[in-house]
Structure 1
Amino acid sequence: MRRREFIAACCYAAFAGKAHGAGLIEPHMHFTPAAGPPQVAITLDACMGETDMRILGPLIENAIPVTIFATRRWLDRNPATIGLLKQHRDLFVIENHGAKHLSAVIGPGRPYGLVPAGTAAAVAEEVRGGAEAIARAFGTSPKWYRDATALYSPDAMALIGSMGFRIAGFSLNGDFGASASARMAHKRIAGAKSGDIVISHINQPHRPAGAGVISGILALKARGFSFVHLDDVATMAVG
């Protein structure tokens, strides 16, 4: 591992440790694949900003199913991408990443130093606003929710569940919030194991990580992996 990549990985581990120490939860989630070829579920967060066509284009060309967690902020800024996604509904399932991209934390906790929703009312508004944006854009009702940092206070998790959403955890962090180098992102994703749920990002076209995200996904395809949506995972054993 190169020095830059080692530092990035260590920083992520340090931040995650502090967040866990504050009583926040990072849900772990993997699945037991059906018989046959190895399977992974690729989940891509669209937080805000633009669309990384380095990722989206090859996903379409290679007919790779992906679950995208989109915020209202990102949907509002990317109408052309919405049209493209709607042309390929068999490949892309759009799930809820919130309205303003806030962490589902009730109380003073600040995951990664970021200001969270903070109150139960704000968490509910964040979840509801994201779901309404997806309904307007795609005419669908999301079933899964992932917040801004994939870290939650326990009471926020209970609230989100009471609103009818399953919280989307993961087992493999592919790009460390799009902060990884292309080489690191490729290595992590290409090394996925059957049953992994991968988290990465599709909203940072100007960062190196995106090139490694798609090359890692295509490496899995070359190894004979098949790809499933989280909706498919829900019918399997999840832990």
Structure 2
Amino acid sequence: MKTILLLPLLAALGLAAPALAHDGLLEPKLHIAAGSKTPRVALTFDACMGLADQRIISVLIENRIPATIFITERWLKRNAETFAIFRAHADLFELENHGAMHVPAIDRPVPVYGIASAGSAQAVEAEVMGGANALVASGAPQPHWFRGATAKYTASSIAQIRALGFDVAGYSLNGDDGSLLGARMATRRIANAHDGDVIISHINQPTHAAGEGVAAGILALKAKGYEFVRLDAVHEEGSNATVN
């Protein structure tokens, strides 16, 4: 059935449409259960490569705001001091798997945003398990979640990652467009989050204006009375057979 016919049918049945990107890849969505008394969101941050954005980290620690951090082996090797801070605040930070080399976990050769994908099932496994093993070797608990570089996959790579023992972390709100937004726009996006949103932002670009906006957006949500939760603390609903 053509997509143009399938989407109205799914809507009529009350089913979620598959999160299919224009390049034919899947870009899964993830939501958490809405708050019972106050709205709540899950803050998730990718630590891809580069350094650590202390503007965001300091806001999280000073305000006792929990978050889920997706860490690559590449970032881990350059940021041992910040990783130690995360470990020292285990009540705040859930440390999860962002892969070994920040390679998109896609089992066919296709570039995504100019980044070459893993390209095969064997390379996907190396990316996923390399990231997990690096976290555990550095003292973190065994990760439960995986989010690949670019957050895009094929259906078969999602199934493979699930078979390796990981749920695949999508998101519902992009807070900083890969840390490329200006500060004002990043603030506005995050401040306007809805109850149950899983927000993705980046914590590895301390020289980008987006980080200032992300920090301000978090404080704006706090001022509105939002609750912040980690992914390991609530029930989630994800598209494309990524969870549950």
Give TM-score scaled by structure 2 length: 0.87
Kept after mapping to 1: 8 A contact 2:28/2:238: no
1:44 corresponds to? 45
Superposed displacement of residue 35, structure 1:
0.9
2:93 corresponds to? 92
Tell me: CA distance 1:22–1:236, structure 2 relative to 1, closer, same or farther (3 Å): closer
Structure 2 CA distance, aligned partners of 1:65 and 1:148? 22
Letter in 1 for 2:228: F
Structure 2 CA distance, aligned partners of 1:138 and 1:152? 28
1:225 corresponds to? 226
Letter in 1 for 2:83: I
2:159 corresponds to? 158
Tell me: CA distance 1:238–1:120, structure 2 relative to 1, closer, same or farther (3 Å): closer
State the Cα deviation string for residues 54-105 of structure 1 (Å, max 9, x = none): 1101110000000000000001100111111111100000000000000011
Structure 2 CA distance, aligned partners of 1:91 and 1:156? 30
Q: 2:68 is paired with a residue of what secondary structure?
A: strand
Give TM-score scaled by structure 1 length: 0.89
Kept after mapping to 1: 8 A contact 2:66/2:229: yes
Q: 2:84 is paired with a residue of what secondary structure?
A: helix
Alignment of 1:1-239 (within 5 A): 20-233=21-234, 235-236=235-236
Structure 2 CA distance, aligned partners of 1:57 and 1:139? 20
Superposed displacement of residue 138, structure 1:
2.6
Tell me: CA distance 1:28–1:141, structure 2 relative to 1, closer, same or farther (3 Å): same
State the Cα deviation string for residues 124-181 of structure 1 (Å, max 9, x = none): 0000000011101234100000000011111111100100100000000000000000
Kept after mapping to 1: 8 A contact 2:109/2:118: no
Structure 1 CA distance, aligned partners of 2:155 and 2:238? 20
Superposed displacement of residue 236, structure 1:
5.0
Structure 2 CA distance, aligned partners of 1:42 and 1:22? 27
Structure 2 CA distance, aligned partners of 1:173 and 1:142? 23
Kept after mapping to 1: 8 A contact 2:29/2:238: no
Tell me: CA distance 1:182–1:30, structure 2 relative to 1, closer, same or farther (3 Å): same
Kept after mapping to 1: 8 A contact 2:31/2:236: no
Kept after mapping to 1: 8 A contact 2:35/2:196: no
Superposed displacement of residue 39, structure 1:
0.3
Structure 1: runs of 5+ lacking an equivalent: 1-18
Superposed displacement of residue 49, structure 1:
0.7
Structure 1 CA distance, aligned partners of 2:22 and 2:237? 29
Kept after mapping to 1: 8 A contact 2:87/2:140: no
Letter in 2 for 1:94: L
1:5 corresponds to? none
